[in-house]
Chain A
Amino acid sequence: MGMLRKYAVIDPLTGKLDRRIFSDQEVYDEEMERIFGRAWLMIGHESLVPQLDDFFHTYMGEDPVILTRDGQGRLHALLNMCRHRGNRVVRCDDGNAKRFLCTYHGWTYRNDGTLEHVPGEREAYYDALDKSSLGLIEARVETYAGIVFATWDKNAPSLEAYLGDARWYLDTVFNRRDGGSQALGPIKWLEPVNWKTLVDNCSDNYHVPTSHLSSARVQTRFIGRPPLSHEDQFASPNKHAFVNGHSITFRDADDNTPRYVHGASKETMRMFQDYHEATMPEIERRLGALRARRVQLANHSIFPNGILGLRLALPRGPLKTEFWHFVLVDRDAPEELKRVIRIGSQANNGAAGLFEQDDVDNWRQVTEASASRLRRRHPQDLSMGLGHAGTHPDYPGIVSERYISENNQRLFYRRWEEFMNAGSWSDIPLTSISARFEGSATMRG
Chain B
Amino acid sequence: MRSVRPNEPSLDARQALWFQLMQFYIREAWLLDERRFKEWLDIFTDDIIYFMPRRKNVLRRELHREVTPLGDLAIFEEDRRYLEMRVARLDTGMAWAEEPPSRTRHLIGNLEATPLESGDVSARTAFLVYRSHLETDSQLLSGSREDVLRPLDGGWKVARRTIVLDANVLLDKNLSVFL
Contacts and interface: CB of A to CB of B under 8 A. Distances in A.
Interface of A: 91-95, 184-192, 211, 213-215, 217-219, 221-223, 322, 325-327, 339, 342-343, 345-347, 350-352, 354, 356-358, 360-362, 364
Contacts of A188: 168-170
Contacts of A351: 75, 170, 172, 174-175
Given A93-B168, A188-B168, A189-B174, A346 B76 contact: yes
Interface string B154-177: 000000000000001111111110
B11 interface: no
Contacts of B52: 352
Given A93-B58, A361-B97, A354 B169 contact: no
Nearest to B81: A222
Interface stretch (B19-27, B29-37, B84-92, B107-115): B84-92
B85 A93 contact: no
A93 B173 contact: no
Given A218-B89, A352-B52, A364 B173 contact: yes
B29 to A, nearest CB: 19
A347 B74 CA distance: 10
B59 A95 contact: yes
B167 to A, nearest CB: 9
A95 B172 CA distance: 27
Contacts of B59: 92, 95
Contacts of A326: 73
Contacts of A215: 89, 95
A360 B54 contact: no
Contacts of B176: 352, 357
Contact of A223 (B62, B81, B174): B81
Interface of B: 52, 54, 56-59, 62, 71-78, 81-82, 84-86, 88-89, 92-97, 134, 168-176
Contact of B75 (A218, A352, A364): A352
A346 B84 contact: no
B91 to A, nearest CB: 9
A223 B85 contact: yes
- Most B CB contacts (10 A, CB to CB) among A91, A93, A364 go to A93
21 contacts: A92-B56, A92-B58, A188-B168, A188-B169, A189-B170, A192-B173, A211-B96, A217-B94, A218-B86, A222-B84, A223-B81, A223-B85, A325-B73, A346-B77, A347-B82, A350-B75, A351-B172, A351-B174, A352-B76, A352-B176, A360-B174
Nearest to B173: A360
Contacts of B72: 184
Nearest to B93: A214
B75 A346 contact: yes
Contacts of A347: 78, 82, 85
Among B93, B171, B173, max chain A CB count under 10 A is at B173
Contact of B97 (A92, A94, A184, A360): A360
A361 B73 contact: no
A346 B173 contact: no
A184 B88 contact: no
Contacts of A352: 52, 75-76, 174-176
A192 B54 CA distance: 21
B96 A358 contact: yes
Given A327-B73, A345-B73, A217 B173 contact: no
